[in-house]
Amino acid sequence: MEEVKYKGNFIKVCEKQINNQTWEMVYLPDSLVVIPITDNDEIIFIVEKRPHESPNTRLKLVTGHIDKGESPIETANRELQEEAGFKADSLQELMLHRSTGTINSHFYYFLAKDLSPSKLPNPDGEDSILEVKKIPINEVKRMLFNDELPWNLSTLGLFKVFGA
């Protein structure tokens, strides 16, 4: 049986006894990343202010948590509208990354095309997005392989796009 040690808005930490050994388990909400591509083969990124991180601004793809009662595809379009100000007429699920064990989560990857302007209010505050940037795919590749763009769970989906 798992014992909850901490439960916050986004993270739950539990301990579980298995064969007289204590295992720590972290549960994260189901999340996603959206890789929006323009008709000009540019990927849309945002520059986001993150006061609790170092550095406190970052270049990133559109990401978000899946709200209760919302499908991953609905979340993808909502987050795209909140963070980047675009709606996608074409959303394709690229893959699902499942993590189990110490870290437990589902992380969906979506390719967004046929974009049109459509802005929804950002619940993190409109001032949290400093800039929306359109970067040509070849430049994104260069940035990634020259460590100008961090390798992380979000950017993992770019490799799927590059191979497509």
**For residue 102, is it within any domain?**
no
**For residue 142, is it within any domain?**
yes
Q: Which amino acid is at 101?
A: G
Model pLDDT for residues 33-64, shown as the tens digit of each residue: 999 999 999 999 999 998 888 889 999 999 99
Q: What is the pLDDT of residue 164?
A: 60
**To the nearest whole number, what is the mean pLDDT of the chain?**
94
CATH code of 135's domain: 3.90.79.10
State the residue range of the domain holding 154.
Answer: 30-92+110-163
**For residue 127, is it within any domain?**
yes
pTM score, whole prediction: 0.91
Q: Which amino acid is at 100?
A: T
**For residue 5, is it within any domain?**
no
Q: What is the pLDDT of residue 65?
A: 95
Model pLDDT for residues 91-150, shown as the tens digit of each residue: 999 999 999 999 999 999 999 999 999 999 999 888 999 999 999 999 999 999 999 998
**For residue 44, is it within any domain?**
yes
**For residue 1, is it within any domain?**
no
Pairing between strand 2-7 and 12-18? antiparallel
Asked whether the beta carbons of 122 and 129 are under 8 A apart, the reply is yes
Q: What is the pLDDT of residue 110?
A: 97
> Given pLDDT bands bounded at 50, 70 and 90, which one contains residue 163?
confident
C-alpha of 77 from chain center: 12
CA-based torsion, 150, 35, 115, 139: positive or negative: positive
The verdict on whether omega for the bond into residue 55 sits within 30 degrees of 0, i.e. cis, is yes
**For residue 70, is it within any domain?**
yes
**For residue 49, is it within any domain?**
yes
The number of folded domains in the chain is 1
